[in-house]
Amino acid sequence: MSVFAYNANGEMQAEGVALETIAQQVGTPFYCYSAGALRAGWQEFADGMKGLNASVCYALKANSNLAVVKLFGDLGAGADIVSVGEMRRALAAGIAPRRIIFSGVGKKPSELMAALEAGIGQINVESSAELETLNAVAGQLGVKAAITIRVNPDVDAGTHAKITTGRKENKFGVDIDLARDAYALAARLPNLEVVGVAMHIGSQLIALDPYRDAIAKVRGLITQLRADGHRIERFDIGGGLGIVYADEKPPSIAAFMQLVTKETDGLGCALTFEPGRRLVGEAGVLVAEVILVKPGVSKTFVIVDAAMNDLIRPTLYEAWHDIVPARRPRPDGATIRCDIVGPVCESGDYLAQNRDLPPLSAGDLVMVRSAGAYGAVMASSYNTRPLVPEVMVDGTRFAVVRPRPSIDEMLSSERIPPWMEPA
């Protein structure tokens, strides 16, 4: 059952706090995360991994708020990062360097150096060129870099084209047919220590068959690599399990773990999982206020104060997010067909199109569900709109975990060149 639900007074609550209460103190729009839902998501993984030699490295790219990262770190998670900025966040949240995995298709030498200097536990290399670069950087520091090579198993994850990562036409990883050559190169480079194999086939997967196919392919590769003399002790399976946005029926963590257990039985590898969306997606919402309702000839527009710069998923991925009023609708069930749009100066600025919602008026609050992943982290200040605050609720208490910057603060970070200053 969702932690976001109407109470007896018809108010939408996050755990024990009414969203209207938060709005009165923080203003709108804002993101709201449920600590209870985050812990419940983690517990699903913890329960599913019992009996396995396995660990979880939370994928910061889904939601990198320090409070969220620290909550998972305190529960025992490591971190999967794709930039030095995310590395700094993970370290600031108290995650030990040895529990951090550095992924990503384009790591600069300076980033690799920062990771090695910090003592990052594993670097997932994605090309032969990166092997050469990392070897050179590690040599400069006089260290050996523990690596896996991320292989691309050419498996169709059956998800949106922009978030699938395991096909040959995707930029990620080393083609599985070329992987043995890449491992042979790694073995010849003196400053690299091969420890395993990594994969990640995409995001928002709602079926297990792609995992089965990908694991089978990588298992075959591991057998070949060991025969070639490589020490393969770790299998980084990645993340990608989907959540509910509309009417999806994603597999349970228990079912996923059962499949992984079966497909890796006897392999003798420590397993790593890198969930992101599955841990945070349904644990967060975006709350907005209706500015005005604008009837038109062909449709009605409900204009709210959240926009595409705050939540870009509907525009970027044609993504569906369920949207409900923050007050329980009247029991008569009356609805209006409308687009929920923001004030940004773009025709693509919408949160939902052609939705049937209860009649709304200026000042009403609406809640956008399943906004905890790839929401705030992908936001921008387009149209000089301040980034919206993020709030964490835990039981009957809440705190702002990232404040809304003032416009003065936004302007203070910019500079006018000296020759443009008045004489």
List pLDDT tens digits, range 187-221.
999 999 999 999 999 889 999 999 999 999 999 99
> Where is the domain boundary, 259, 277, 295?
277
Domain that holds residue 243: 35-277
Residues 226 and 101 reside in one and the same domain: yes
Going from the C-alpha of 167 to that of each of 69, 137, 153, 159, 160, the distances in angstroms are 30, 30, 7, 11, 12
Whether 29 and 39 map to the same domain: the answer is no
pLDDT tens for residues 357-373?
999 999 999 999 999 99
Tell me how far CA of residue 385 lies from CA of 156, 313, 343, 404, in angstroms. 38, 18, 10, 10
CA distance 88 to 68: 14
Identify the domain boundary among 277, 307, 342: 277
Q: Are residues 224 and 129 in the same domain?
A: yes
Q: How far is it, in rounded angstroms, from Cα 139 to Cα 155?
A: 35
Q: Are residues 79 and 207 in the same domain?
A: yes
Q: What values do phi and psi take at 193, rounded to 5?
A: -120, 110
Q: Which of 71, 116, 24 is nearest to 284 (CA)?
A: 71
* Structural domain contains residue 366: yes
Residue 164 pLDDT greater than 70, yes or no? no
Q: Which helix (H) or strand (E) holds 303?
A: strand 300-304
Average pLDDT over residues 245-263: 95
In three-state secondary structure terms, 383 is helix
Distances 71 to 38, 43, 241 between C-alpha atoms, Å? 8, 12, 20
Q: Are residues 111 and 79 in the same domain?
A: yes
How many CB atoms within 10 Å of residue 188? Answer: 10
- DSSP letters along 101-115, please? EE--S---HHHHHHH
What is the pLDDT confidence band of residue 296, given thresholds at 50, 70 and 90?
confident
In this structure, is the dihedral angle defined by the CA atoms of residues 263, 265, 270 and 275, taken in order, positive or negative?
Answer: positive
Shared-domain flag, residues 265 and 308: no
User: Which pLDDT score is estimated for 160?
Assistant: 45
Q: Is residue 62 one of the residues assigned to a domain? A: yes
Q: What is the overall mean pLDDT for the chain?
A: 94
Residue 408 lies in a domain: yes
Distance between CA atoms of 319 and 317, rounded to whole angstroms? 5
The answer to whether residues 364 and 248 belong to one domain is: no
Of 182-191, 313-322, 414-423, minimum mean pLDDT range: 414-423
CATH code, domain with 12: 2.40.37.10
Using one digit for the tens of pLDDT, what is the confidence trace for 85-116? 999 999 999 999 999 999 999 999 999 999 99
pTM score of the predicted model: 0.94
Task: Tell me whether residue 417 is in a domain.
Answer: no
Instruction: For residues 324 and 322, give the distance between their C-alpha atoms in angstroms, rounded to a whole number.
Output: 7
Domain count across the chain: 2
- Mean pLDDT (whole number) for 221-240: 96
Are 39 and 160 within one domain?
yes
Residue 319 tokens read as 């993504």
Of 32, 57, 338, 345, catalytic: 345
Q: Is the pLDDT of residue 163 over 50?
A: no
Percent pLDDT > 70 in the chain is: 96
Q: Are strands 365-368 and 300-304 parallel, antiparallel or unpaired?
A: unpaired
Q: How far apart are CA 110 and CA 386, in angstroms?
A: 31
- Residue 165 pLDDT exceeds 80: no
In this structure, the answer to whether residues 271 and 357 fall within a common structural domain is no
Residue 420 lies in a domain: no
> What is the C-alpha to C-alpha distance for residues 139 and 165, in angstroms, rounded to an integer?
31
One-letter identity of residue 80: D
Whether residue 169 has pLDDT greater than 90: no
By C-alpha distance, which of 167, 185, 237 is closest to 208? 237
Residue 397: Cβ within 10 Å count: 11
Residue 420: per-residue pLDDT: 93
289: Cβ contacts below 8 Å, ≥ 6 apart = 23, 28, 29, 304, 305, 363, 364, 365, 366
pLDDT of amino acid 168: 52
Asked if residue 62 lies in contact with residue 281, where contact means CB atoms within 8 angstroms, the answer is yes
Query: What pLDDT was estimated at residue 421?
Result: 86
Among the candidates 236, 260, 277, a domain finishes at 277
The reply to whether 269 belongs to the active site is no
pLDDT average, residue stretch 40-46? 96
Question: 305 and 265, same structural domain?
Answer: no
Which 8-state DSSP code applies to residue 387? P
Encode pLDDT of 272-294 as tens digits. 999 999 999 999 999 999 999 99
Question: Which of 1-5, 322-326, 388-392 is predicted least confidently?
Answer: 1-5
Q: Tokens for 355?
A: 């939705």
User: Confidence band (pLDDT; 50, 70, 90) for 176?
Assistant: very high
Distance CA 61, CA 345 (A): 27
Instruction: State the pairing for strand pair 54-59/30-34.
Output: unpaired
72 and 202 share one domain: yes
The verdict on residue 423 lying in a domain is no
